[in-house]
Structure 1
């Protein structure tokens, strides 16, 4: 069976890797390089040579996660990882920090800030996780929390992650939001892992093990036609590729643009794709600490500032490599960094309660007429774990006999 996969991000590549021993496949990628939301650059700063991520970055320290299982399966070991503390500092423009999280080596005299106790009490007292389609605003409203804790911490972190305005976070899935808020007000910073070679190195490792799959980078699919035997992919260079099954590992708006209008029209199963509304998010890798607290003792790995109804983060690479390099969101900043090393842009998808319901609808039509969807947007909180899980789910449908499926944890 010949399978076409549009998109060479982690979801598309893992799908290809899982079915490679059973199916022939072609992966088509519009960009000149593979990786999708995993984009890495290597450089030397203050005598330290390191790889910095502009997109997806952290890996859960849980060895049983799908991400960890995939890394092991393609040959990564302990020497490829660095464990770092996932600490947080939150503040608003020209205001002292609302919350300063625990961080190794932080001076004892640095206080946690006025939002620490209410946020800690809120997170510690939640009990059983809410259903996926319960809005976060309902959970927050059930507690008596000061506005500073809500707007500048709880809502701010989620707004920064998904590129939405702070007030919109009230409509985000509570369960998804709480997934990312775990550990924000812990007595010790939660450990996470980064790949020393950058997250893009995982994409290259996966691609390097493909034997029956062709990867075409710098090839933008222009349109997709439904045929009696499957699909035909037409690219902007005039090329055509016929496949029996199709996997779209691209953002939903791109899928809508590529598919025939008749397939995404009202009343058709794939009309649900119109309910996935992405937001643009821009990042800069830079050297000047323009978005960090003035007091260095309050710096954390993640630093989130609220401004003008938005919240944007700045990741400090000091805990990773011992150098002052920063990866910052610059989508809505009024002041841009001066010492910029690289920039990149992505599309974020806020996991609203309505999106959760759309994900369920999409799951019901997976595989219909030989069309499959893979990516972080397909289920759950919308992270790299979700992307890998989605690839495994597609592979179970396309190549249930693949021996590589045993490597990944069953969702």
Structure 2
């Protein structure tokens, strides 16, 4: 079959790679390079030629089993990284610091006495222990229902110092959303992430970055067309095909896989049926800004307080600022001048320190997410389907690399099932197109 995959993020690359094993696949990407690496920054000076992922991509095996298996199959080498975190207030003073002792693939979190010398620090630590115990019990009991994490911690009377000072900023940082969005996250999703081993397993990264992952996947894709300029997708009912209108003209395919955001797919699908439009519109997004820079002013005031990850939590800002000390996360930069990546910035670095500036949109998870996913699954189950959707939003859980890869493989399996079930090689009669 001839298949088009629109979007070159991790979901699009995986879907195109998997389907190319049996079919003629064209991957359409709007950027000059695949979306997975389109915003990466190439460095000069002592680290000349080294590239840094934007945004930085890390994982831990307990919550990313599909991604872990994919990297193993591709032969992508990974390495453990230190992802200890400092939490500071708007005054620059540290109120809590979490560290981890790593041994191979395992990690043991701990805090030092000087990190929790204040009453606030002790309450954060005590709240963390209380939350951990209640999270395990609640997940084991399976009685969370549709409660949000805000409702869960209120019902369990978890210390507000922990909730406001660590839990919600951590959720907002991982999911790149506002504190209010974090509070509305389904408790089952948050507890699923927390209980999958994040405190016991080392955070890892692809040793050679997203470029290595993209290169492995691209090598197996039939055809890649960057700067494609896809403007519209429309089904040709009497031919059992899907027409992709792009910069070079119109091209017909047996199937089209949208590996874009749901809102982008909704815009591109010119003949979207009401149930398709409603399903895609149900997924919500939050704008995300990432800055690459060399300005230490966005780090904690004291150099001794710097951690690989540094969260700045201020009541006057709707979302926490997170600054990653790249030198501590990417070994090739260990001896280079300090380099930082700030996510959801509350402040601006010096203009002469700015190395890269990227804007994205990230899916939000809330009370309506389960219904939206059910609608998407119902669409994929329709007989004669020719248009499909995958991405980090398209699977349950925190929308991260894992859900993107899982959804891509699931869609590829459905397309394969259509090919196996259709004697004409995937083409259906006009009455079922």
TM range (shorter): 0.7 to 0.9
Which deviates the most, 21-30 or 57-66? Answer: 57-66
Q: Is the 8 A contact 1:30 1:218 kept in 2?
A: yes
Render the CA deviation track for 1:93-117: whole Å, top value 9, x for unaligned.
Answer: 0163332102459995532424122
Q: Is the 8 A contact 2:63 2:197 kept in 1?
A: no
Q: Distance in 2 between matches of 1:238 and 1:179?
A: 45
Q: Is the 8 A contact 1:301 1:315 kept in 2?
A: yes
> Could you say which residue in structure 2 is the equivalent of 1:405?
none
Correspondence 1:341 to 2:358: no
> Could you say which residue in structure 2 is the equivalent of 1:192?
203
| Matching residue within 387, 398, 401 for 2:415 | 398
> Could you say which residue in structure 2 is the equivalent of 1:43?
43
1:238-249 matches, within 5 Å, as: 239-249=249-259
- CA separation of 1:164/1:64 partners in 2, compared to 1, >3 Å: closer, same or farther? closer
Aligned residues: 390
> Could you say which residue in structure 2 is the equivalent of 1:231?
242
Q: Is the 8 A contact 2:255 2:387 kept in 1?
A: yes
Q: Is the 8 A contact 2:5 2:12 kept in 1?
A: yes
What is the TM-score of this pair, normalised by structure 2? Answer: 0.81
Paired residue secondary structure (2:81): strand
- CA separation of 1:361/1:245 partners in 2, compared to 1, >3 Å: closer, same or farther? same
Q: Distance in 2 between matches of 1:175 and 1:220?
A: 39
Q: Distance in 1 between matches of 2:251 and 2:146?
A: 39
Q: Is the 8 A contact 2:37 2:53 kept in 1?
A: no
> Could you say which residue in structure 1 is the equivalent of 2:115?
111
- CA separation of 1:317/1:185 partners in 2, compared to 1, >3 Å: closer, same or farther? same
Give the RMSD, CA atoms, in angstroms.
2.9
- Name the larger-Rg structure: 2
Render the CA deviation track for 1:35-60: whole Å, top value 9, x for unaligned.
Answer: 33774334256568743211251032
> Could you say which residue in structure 1 is the equivalent of 2:94?
97
1:129-278 matches, within 5 Å, as: 129=139, 133-181=146-194, 190-210=201-221, 213-228=222-237, 229-235=240-246, 237=247, 239-260=249-270, 262-265=271-274, 268-278=275-285
Render the CA deviation track for 1:386-408: whole Å, top value 9, x for unaligned.
Answer: 11111111111122599xxxxxx
Q: Is the 8 A contact 1:264 1:273 kept in 2?
A: no
More helix by share: 2
Q: Is the 8 A contact 1:162 1:279 kept in 2?
A: no
Q: Distance in 2 between matches of 1:63 and 1:274?
A: 27
Paired residue secondary structure (2:22): coil
Q: Is the 8 A contact 1:285 1:342 kept in 2?
A: yes
Correspondence 1:326 to 2:340: yes
Paired residue secondary structure (1:139): helix
Q: Which runs of 5+ in 2 are unaligned?
A: 103-109, 420-433
